[in-house]
Structure formats: C-alpha cells, structure tokens
Structure 1
Amino acid sequence: MKRKFSGRAVITFCLIIVGVWIYLQYIHNGTSNRDVPLPDSLHPAVSHNAELLIQQSAGKGIEIIITDGFRSHHEQDRLYEKGRSTQGNIVTHAKGGESFHNFGLAIDFAIKANGQAIWDMGYDGNGNGQSDWMEVVEIAKELGFEWGGDWKHFKDYPHLQMDFGLSINDLQKGERPPSQPMTVKSS
C-alpha cells in the first residue's frame, strides 16, 4: 500500500530539517560561546612583547611609548565617531567590538623625542640613517606583532596586534587565545 504525503506534511518536514540544520550551524560555529567574558586588559603575551619592544628599541637608541592598549567597546565607539559625528580626523574604521584593542590583542606606539610623542615615520633620532619608526616596526614583527601599516586598505601606522590565528569574528563568538603558557619571541 502506497502512502501519499500532503503538501502540508512535506513543508513541515522541510521546516524541521532546516531548523535542525540552523541549530547545528549555531553550535558548530561557536556562537554558543558568546557568554565567555570579555577581556579587560592586554593579553599577557601582548603585554610582555610590548615591554620587549620598548627594551629592544631602547637598545637601538630609540625611545618609544605605548600610546594605547586595551580599549573598551565604549572607548572604541567614541574613537570611531572622530571625524564622523565629532571633530577630528577619522582614525579607525572599527566600531566597539570590531577592534583587536577590544580583546586586549593590540597596542599603538609612538616615538618619543624631546619629551614628546611623535608619529614622524621619517624621523632618525638615533642617527643611523634609518627611519626609527621602521626600525621599531622591524623589531615588532620579530616579536610576533602584525603591523597596521601592512594592511591593504586602511593603513594604521601606529597599530601593532597579535591575533593568535583568530579573526574578529572568532573573538566576537567567544573564542580566546590561550592565556598561558605562551611562547613569545625575543632577540
């Protein structure tokens, strides 16, 4: 005896299948980890490597300062508004939750000359014929940082980050880099 299914039964069955598929995608993509707390400071490896960057730069006669590190979502949103709804130049394209700063994985730096922070990429304060800025970037890369000046679209020259193989999307879903132990490079 052959049984025919009504159109309503077929639609119900398809909706159940789609619902199960969506549920499995939800679990598989890690969105269930959204309850993982947000960091409130720099990742230990980023902090350690930032200190190494300061020390190794000083060893080349270059004084640098870290001008920014961990940034809350609220601080990020305020920075995002610069050049948009508040005065100033646009300095970021990332809203709160869209920056590696918001997850404690990025720092910004500047050269310190005559007691002042400068962002002059051509400055050669140690007099060796090379840009101090690019010497610092070279050290940072050796320490495992990615430089915002290498980005294809929006160049962020003071920006250094360590993503640990994670994207912003991964971080937003609750994935986090291991906090310890972490091997860091040093020269």
Structure 2
Amino acid sequence: MKANWVKACLVLFFFGWLAVVLYKNMLPPDLDEIELADELHPIVAEKKDELIQRANELDIPIIITAGYRSLEEQNKLYEKGRLNTGKIVTYAKGGESLHNFGLAIDFALLNKQGEAIWDMDYDGNDNRKSDWMEVVTVAKGLGFEWGGDWPGFKDYPHLQMTFGLSLRELQQGKQARGQ
C-alpha cells in the first residue's frame, strides 16, 4: 500500500513540475529583462550592402525599405489595419519580428524612374527574368532566408538571418553570434 502511495506522489510531482514548465514556456517573454539590439546585426548589415552591390551588378537597383525596427515601431506597424486606418502590413507585434533583433531587412526594386516598386514580375534589366526573383536568388546565396518561402503567410519583401536561433530563443535573450 505504501509503495502505491509513493508512486502516486511521484506521478503527481512529475505532472505538477511538467505543468509549471509548460506554463512558463507559454508566458510571453519579458523583453524588458533582455538586451535588445538597436541596429542591424553586423553580418546582416554587411550582407545587406553586398546584396545591393550584387543586384546593381545585375542592373537591378534596389532599396532597403526596412532594417532594424524598435518595439514601438513594430507595434505601430501592427496597429495598421487594426487600430489605425490602412491595410494590415504585419502579423508580428513588437518583439515578435526578427526586425526587432536586427536580423531582418525588407527590400523593394527601383524602377527606371527611381521609384520603389514591389512588382514581382518587373523586368527592368530586360533579360526576360523577374528582377524580384533574381534579387531573391542573390539574397539566398548570401545566406538570407526569404519570407516568400514561408509555408503560411508570405512576406515577399522580407529577408532574414536567424543564425540557427528561434524567435523564442531570441526573446529569451540569446544573442545571434554569426559565422
């Protein structure tokens, strides 16, 4: 009888411990307790410059429309189409975007008039290939992941480098070291 009571106590202890661990992992991280980036990660910044240069060599001028973004800036973007007028432009609140950790950039093409465009079929260098996809190919070759490859929501202007870290790990304060 005593052995059954010990087993029951151990089982209860285990499930109690498991509940606490699961609960703690479900809580949103307190980003005030970690050191957040305030600019692009140095390797992301270097690869961004290389992307611009290589795209130019293909006669595809591009512009970086976003890089590091503060939590406040991210929250303002999140409010578009929800609390403020306009279309929804992001599904990530402050602290839920790799932009907030200096690990993401967004780009646009520049047309012949020098205007930013997001036309994925545009062929400004007249080589019968999508300039957009040529830039994406270069970006992937530089180590960027492309938001257009995501299984659900597609973020076509978005390029990121995670350095093997998940968003959750970044939110918990792990720093991207790079190669």
Structure 1 residues not aligned, in runs of 5+: 183-187
Distance 1:20 1:149, change over 3 A: closer
Distance 1:20 1:131, change over 3 A: closer
> How far does residue 34 in structure 1 lie from its aligned partner after superposition?
7.4
The corresponding residue for 1:40 is 38
Which of 1 and 2 has higher RCO (CA within 8 Å, sep 6+)? 1
Tell me the amino acid that sits aligned with residue 162 of structure 2: D
The corresponding residue for 1:185 is none
Distance 1:128 1:174, change over 3 A: same
The corresponding residue for 2:153 is 154
Whether the 8 Å contact between 1:34 and 1:173 is mirrored in structure 2 is: no
> How far does residue 18 in structure 1 lie from its aligned partner after superposition?
4.7
In the superposition, the TM-score normalised over structure 1's length comes to 0.80
CA distance in 2, matches of 1:118, 1:53: 17
Task: Indicate yes or no: 2:55 matched with 1:57.
Answer: yes
Q: CA RMSD in A?
A: 3.0
Whether the 8 Å contact between 2:31 and 2:95 is mirrored in structure 1 is: no
Say how many residue pairs are matched: 170
The corresponding residue for 2:73 is 75
Structure 2 residues not aligned, in runs of 5+: none
Task: Indicate yes or no: 2:112 matched with 1:122.
Answer: no
Whether the 8 Å contact between 2:122 and 2:132 is mirrored in structure 1 is: yes
Kindly report which structure 2 residues correspond to 1:76-155, keeping only aligned pairs within 5 A, or say none: 76-113=74-111, 114-155=113-154
CA distance in 2, matches of 1:159, 1:33: 23
> How far does residue 35 in structure 1 lie from its aligned partner after superposition?
3.7
Whether the 8 Å contact between 1:70 and 1:106 is mirrored in structure 2 is: yes
CA distance in 2, matches of 1:110, 1:128: 19
Structure with bigger gyration radius:
1
CA distance in 2, matches of 1:131, 1:94: 28
Instruction: List, as ranges, runs of 4+ consecutive aligned residues in structure 1 with deviation greater than 4 Å.
Output: 17-23, 31-34
> How far does residue 88 in structure 1 lie from its aligned partner after superposition?
1.0
> How far does residue 176 in structure 1 lie from its aligned partner after superposition?
1.1
Whether the 8 Å contact between 2:51 and 2:142 is mirrored in structure 1 is: yes
Q: Identity of counterpart residues, as a percentage? A: 55
CA distance in 2, matches of 1:143, 1:129: 23
In the superposition, the TM-score normalised over structure 2's length comes to 0.83
Whether the 8 Å contact between 1:67 and 1:109 is mirrored in structure 2 is: yes
CA distance in 1, matches of 2:109, 2:30: 42
> How far does residue 21 in structure 1 lie from its aligned partner after superposition?
9.2
